[in-house]
Amino acid sequence: MKKRILALLLVVLLAVSLAPCAFAEEGEVVGNYYSFTDRNGNHVTVPVNAFASEVISFTPGDPWKEAGSSNTDPQIALGLPDADDSNSSTGDLCLGGSGVLVLGFDVAIFDGSGDDLYVFEVGNNVEDTQVEVSEDLVTWYDVGVATGRTAGVDFSGKVPDGARIRYVRLTDLRSAASGGWPGADIDTVCGIRTMAVSSPFVDVRFGDYFYDSVLWAINHAPQITNGTDATHFSPANTVTRAQAVTFLWRSMGEPKPNTTNSPFTDVQDRSSWYYDAVLWAVGEGITNGTSATTFSPDSTVTKGQMVTFLYRTVGEPGKTGTGAWYADAEAWAKQNGLLTGTDTAYSTDGSCPRGDVVYYLWNALA
């Protein structure tokens, strides 16, 4: 049944429902990212490669139009949302009653914090669609029902730990399997928690403790960091204070700072890549300067500083306020596995290399 298109979904780092969302939306492409505002007013940015890229199979349901009619080509369901607000829209695929669509992705969708997958279904009508996901097209995991008005799907407890989802199967449940446009109207499907499928770097190999975190960081929207060149990530390189707060700021979606005026004599260039990140971090109480008038952007960030930045970012859970400035942060980091699993020994004053920084970010925020 043909449906009307409204503004759409996708939520990053917010409370989730257990059912996948099925909205339609408007957005814009900026560089390699797609940004839009969902129905709740949340601004969301994902990589353009997070959308379905391949039709694996399509079995239309019934009743059905002849092949070649509008809204019957499964290729319609690939790429960015493109359905329009009319009964003559050709931007969405009508599954038909009990129709089944299987889509593939160029990225891996993982179980992160919050919603992990979204189904873009146009219109107001509720047309239930079963959503299943797979790593290999052999074993499938039931992750919920897209009803046309729900939030998003959280993989938590529904897929194995460490699963890297590459395929999504949608099955119309015949809640609206009649009329000229039967079944769910699928615009596209998007992964919200995605990572690159394989490493482009010769110094980031499968089995490295930072492997997943690097693949997540380079595919994050906005990108947290890239390599030091096309084929190297340089995981052992040290990280400056400016780089550390910028990585953290990008991890949080590049929020606007509360002020545009820097109090630091060494952070005055408004065109600098770290200017807004420093102002945001200081304004949010994540870090201070090294003095009242200096931030020391080129100084090496220590492990104690990095875990403290993260601890303050997530709201300082379990804060006691006793002991050294880093004591609560280190206790939290240890409890959440940030201080174990790396190849470098933890010490508060030790420098925090690139491999450790992205590993900390991945474990705390992904």
> Residue 200: is the preceding peptide bond cis (ω within 30°)?
no
Q: Which helix (H) or strand (E) holds 36?
A: strand 33-37
Q: How confident is the model at residue 15, as a pLDDT? A: 32
pLDDT digits (tens), the chain, 366 positions? 333 222 222 333 333 333 455 544 568 898 889 987 765 666 778 899 999 999 999 999 887 655 556 678 899 999 998 876 455 566 788 888 899 999 999 999 999 988 899 888 876 666 789 999 999 999 999 999 887 655 578 899 999 999 999 999 999 998 765 556 677 888 899 999 999 999 999 999 999 999 999 999 999 999 999 999 999 999 999 999 999 999 999 999 999 999 999 999 999 999 999 999 999 999 999 999 999 999 999 999 999 999 999 999 999 999 999 999 999 999 999 999 998 888 888 999 999 999 999 999 999 999
Q: What is the SS3 assignment for 35?
A: strand
How do residues 304-352 score in pLDDT, each as one tens digit? 999 999 999 999 999 999 999 999 999 999 999 998 888 888 999 999 9
Q: How confident is the model at residue 87, as a pLDDT? A: 54
- Nearest Cα neighbor of 316 from 325, 306, 308 is 308
Q: How confident is the model at residue 45, as a pLDDT? A: 84
Distance CA 133, CA 70 (A): 27
- Nearest Cα neighbor of 151 from 12, 7, 17 is 17
Helices (H), the chain: 211-219, 241-251, 275-283, 303-313, 327-335, 354-365
Q: How confident is the model at residue 149, as a pLDDT? A: 52
Q: How confident is the model at residue 82, as a pLDDT? A: 84
Alpha carbon of 123 to those of 65, 87, 150: distances in Å?
A: 20, 10, 13
CA 153 to chain centre: 13
Q: How confident is the model at residue 120, as a pLDDT? A: 84
Q: Kindly list the domain boundaries of the chain, sorted by start residue.
A: 22-195, 211-365
Alpha carbon of 210 to those of 125, 162, 205, 280, 361: distances in Å?
A: 44, 14, 9, 27, 11
Distance CA 346, CA 357 (A): 12
**Which CATH entry fits the domain spanning 22-195: 2.160.20, 1.10.3470, 2.60.120, 3.40.50?**
2.60.120
Rg over alpha carbons for the chain, rounded to the nearest Å, is: 22
Handedness of CA 232, 238, 244, 246 (dihedral sign): negative
Q: pTM for this structure?
A: 0.85
Pairing of strands 93-94, 43-47: unpaired
Q: Which helix (H) or strand (E) holds 309?
A: helix 303-313
